[in-house]
Amino acid sequence: MGDDRIGRAVPYSGVPPLFDDRTRDACIVVPGIMGSVLQDTATGRPLWGVDLGMLTGSATGEVLFGALRANAQEQSADADTARRAPLSRVRATALLTKPWWLPVFEGLDPYTEVVEALRKVTLAPDAVAPFPYDWRLAVAYNGAVLAQVARAHLTRWREQTAARPEWRAAGERRPRLVFVAHSMGGLVVRAALEQDPELAADTRAVVTVGTPFLGSAKAVLALNLLHADAGPKRLLRRVQEMAATLPGVHDLLPGYRCMDRGLDIERLTPGDVARFGGDEHLAARSLEGHAYRWEHPFVMPGHRAVVGEAQATVQTLDEQQRAGLAVVAGRHHAFDVDGDGDLVRDPATGIPARRDTFGDGTVHLPSAQAGAEATTYVFGQHGTLMCHAEVLRQVRNIVLERQQGARLAGDSAGPGLETPHLGGMFGEPLAFRVTGLSTPAGLSLSVRSATTGRPGHPLTLRRASDGALSARFTADAPDLYRVVLDTGTDVPISQLILVSPPDA
């Protein structure tokens, strides 16, 4: 009997066993705004993420939204508060497990799939720790809480791996941390690592998904909901009254030039935010943080950004006056700036250069990719990115990356194409295999000449004895051929194969 490194007995078959590819590191999943279930600590009453009736009911919703408003103590809480005397009126109990929605912020999918995906590539489920937090509060406060939780999680996991000889291998380093963060969660991770340099040194990678590092113009729209020309008015009023008290919402305010004044584009000011329906003091703290990071950028270790693209996204704001009230309209364009942050203008007219950068529907591209070591782009909406198949695949691959040595195995959960690596000879059939898929429905496998571009013929896929899908192809002439697998949903996979003349 052998062992598969996660505690299961494996009968020895006379050949070396093949183990799953897993990381020794500890992982922490940090959700975005709205992504944690909240409850009243004193009564245990759920306040958020449990019953959608709070969004649709009348009296119940009024009471619950009122309970979510931040009081004076919660509004002033910062990192020192978290370390000295943590707040306890509201408690975060779990990551969101059901879909949720709010005006402006829109839909949010649960985090179940990403947690399960990580547990499949770590040595044991205990290596993955969800970090629910009170997203109403300041990012700095939650960053300090995360730093303490992450240190405790890493210490426990190191003790657990040290106690399991089968998990140790010669030359392997001690486990480190990998953070997987969505939306606001990326800001919380950055705050934790800024505040705790030792924790940053123990972090191997940070994966952010749709994180608004430069802020999101949608935060301003949420504060301006009282003036929206839409319904349901009751829900909009509740959300605006709640958002206006929350440090977390104000921490999402855009720090880039976002106020379109026609011939000039200005940065948001605390006075603007107060005029639009927010809190001037909370806005000042947030915008000062943006200014500080512009002067003192912080680079997160191994930062990889996954960014949603090609979605219509509010990027800048246009202020209008309606019945004496300041009303904000979102615009689907941004403005080019140079390396010093100065506006780029049309040389002929002097008008600021406008450009639609798109984004994930909530965070525009420049904000989500800021400060990343590498960026991956996917077609997807902000709130559903953590259930996006491509995002989950990227997260798994990043978590499994090795710092040294060769990668010996990988996750096969996806379409794959196998062709004879030595090529073939004219007159002999070639065998192709499609892996990672259970049915030929919707698949297209075709072969065409790579030299002439001559269209080929689709091949018929059949199930092989080992469960894989296979097809056979006999070339009508010696040539270089291109084999193309199209699933209809993923980017087509292609491979070249040479068919040589028969041996003399």
Is 301 within 8 Å of 193 (Cβ atoms)?
yes
Phi-psi region of 460 (alpha: psi -120 to 50; beta: other; left: phi over 0): beta
Q: And the tokens for 37? A: 């279930």
Of 221, 237, 219, 368, the C-alpha closest to 305 is 368
Give CA–CA dist 241/239, Å, rounded. 6
Tokens linked to 137: 């509060």
Query: What residues contact residue 43 under an 8 Å CB cut-off, 6+ apart?
Result: none
Domains 26-400 and 416-500 belong to one CATH topology: no
Helix (H/G/I), strand (E/B), else coil: 276 = helix
Q: Which amino acid is at 435?
A: T
Q: How far apart are CA 134 and CA 87, in angstroms?
A: 10
Q: Which residues face 130 on adjacent strands? A: 29
CB atoms within 10 A of CB 125: 12
Say if residues 144 and 188 touch (Cβ distance below 8 Å): no
Nearest-angstrom CA–CA distance, 457 and 474: 11
Check residue 405 and give its pLDDT. 39
Tokens 């090795």 locate to 402
Strand partners, 430: 473
Mean residue pLDDT across the chain: 86
Cis peptide before 175 (omega within 30 of 0): no
CATH topology of domain 26-400: Rossmann fold (3.40.50)
**Residue 84 CB-density burial (10 A; 0-12 exposed, 13-18 middle, 19+ buried):** exposed
* Tens-place pLDDT, residues 432-474: 988 778 788 888 999 988 778 777 778 989 888 777 899 999 9
Give just the sign of the alpha carbon dihedral 162, 168, 172, 177. Answer: negative
Q: What is the DSSP string of 428-448?
A: S-EEEEEES-S--TT-EEEEE
What are the tens digits of pLDDT across the range 265-305?
A: 899 999 999 999 999 999 999 999 999 998 999 999 999 99
Taking CA atoms, 141 is separated from 69, 78, 111, 136, 439, in Å, by 17, 4, 22, 10, 49
Q: Determine if residue 348 is left, alpha or beta; phi over 0 gives left, psi from -120 to 50 gives alpha, anything else beta.
A: alpha
Q: Which helix (H) or strand (E) holds 178?
A: strand 177-182
pTM: 0.82
| Secondary structure class of 171 (helix, strand, coil) | coil
pLDDT at 206: 97
Low pLDDT (below 70) residues in the chain: 1-20, 56-60, 169-172, 227-232, 402-414, 421-422, 490-491, 503-504
C-alpha to C-alpha distance for 415 and 339, rounded to whole angstroms:
41
CATH number listed for the domain at residues 416-500: 2.60.40.10
Residue 347: which residues within 8 A CB-CB, separation 6 or more? none
Coil/strand/helix, residue 88: coil
Q: Name the residue ranges covered by the structural domains of the chain.
A: 26-400, 416-500
Q: What is the DSSP string of 93-136?
A: EEE--S-EEETTTEEE--SHHHHHHHHTSBSSGGGEEE----TT
- Rounded to the nearest angstrom, the gap between the alpha carbon of residue 91 and the centroid of all alpha carbons in its chain is 24
List, in sequence order, every residue forming a beta bridge with 354; answer none if it has no partner.
335
Query: Dihedrals φ, ψ of 258, to 5°?
Result: -130, -10
Q: What is the pLDDT of residue 56?
A: 66
Query: Length of the chain, please?
Result: 504
What is the DSSP code (8-state) at residue 387? G
Q: For tokens 């598969």, what's the residue?
A: 4
Q: What is the DSSP letter of 165?
A: G
Query: Could you say which DSSP state residue 58 is in?
Result: S
